[in-house]
Amino acid sequence: MTTRNAMTVDVEDYFQVQAFAHRVARADWDRFPRRVEANVDRILAQFDRAGVHATFFTLGWIAERHPAMVRRIVASGHELASHGWDHTRADRQEPEAFRQDVRRTRALLEDIGGVPVTGYRAATFSIGASNQWAFGILRDEGYRYSSSINPIAHDLYGMPNASRVPYQPDGNGFWEFPMTTVRAFGRNWPCSGGGYFRLLPGVLYRMGLSRVNKAEGRPGIFYFHPWEIDPGQPRIEGAGWKSRLRHYTNLSRMAPALDQILHAFAWDRVDRVFADLLPEQDRVVRQHATAA
């Protein structure tokens, strides 16, 4: 049987990424023209053509401003999940601030979407050795899984010694689904999308994912951002060369490259790909508080 992989989208706009955080203050976000809704609509159409369902890890800040977009994500059959409120790194928050952040985001997403929200991805994969307490808080707050650890060495994130495969951090039914890596030459190599997918030849990604599917018999997790398919986005002034390289390279090739992997592999939502690990939901869907 073909292994199904998890397709995921981190729903944030081009001015909210970690690489530009030193150039763009949160207080100024509302001054930027937003492009996320138009880009998400293109992604929804592309997924629809390919017959793929995905998980959309969405910022509360974005959902508050684009509720109709959130409802279209749900109406198209995708999983709605949380990317936290405003892309603050989880490892720069105190536990109580983190709790308020993930609580507020989940409540808003459930109110707008009218569906249970049980998945979480930390901004910039910022759960690591210093903040393992985050898992307990996520569980307390009603989440069932996180996909927040990237078991690689990277200058902005990463926990190279973390598990490469799904595990229960506290052994209590709450799961972490780490980003996909390929094991070679004694270390973990990224194989989950993001900047690497745009910067490296597509064949490397496909070989890596095939190896994870066939040799290890495990699903992979792919992620990208709506701004990655948007070559016309405004450029952020004063960003350094490394940030520019990561953010702007091959934007025009992203949509076709995505199409290629959508057809080369089988994809589904995170909650369905890992359904054997996640017990059936027994919780009543919250009432639609902001019905429109």
The nearest distance, CB 217 to Zn ion, in angstroms, is 29
Q: Which stretches does DSSP call E strand in 72-138?
A: 79-82, 119-120
28 or 170: whose CB is closer to Zn ion? 28
Candidates 157, 178, 189, 191; CA nearest to 87 is 157
The nearest distance, CB 199 to Zn ion, in angstroms, is 18
80 or 123: whose CB is closer to Zn ion? 123
Binding residues vs Zn ion (CB under 5 A): 10, 12, 123
Candidates 291, 280, 283; CA nearest to 141 is 283
150 or 181: whose CB is closer to Zn ion? 150
49 or 92: whose CB is closer to Zn ion? 92
The nearest distance, CB 242 to Zn ion, in angstroms, is 17
Tell me the CA distances in angstroms from 174 to 32, 79, 125, 146, 284, one per residue in order. 37, 18, 17, 8, 19
109 or 114: whose CB is closer to Zn ion? 109
The nearest distance, CB 225 to Zn ion, in angstroms, is 7
Tell me the CA distances in angstroms from 49 to 3, 42, 61, 202, 255, one per residue in order. 21, 11, 29, 21, 13
User: Tokens standing for 198?
Assistant: 């745009």
Tell me the CA distances in angstroms from 120 to 106, 160, 219, 243, one per residue in order. 9, 21, 18, 25
Candidates 179, 223, 220, 269; CA nearest to 17 is 223
The nearest distance, CB 89 to Zn ion, in angstroms, is 10
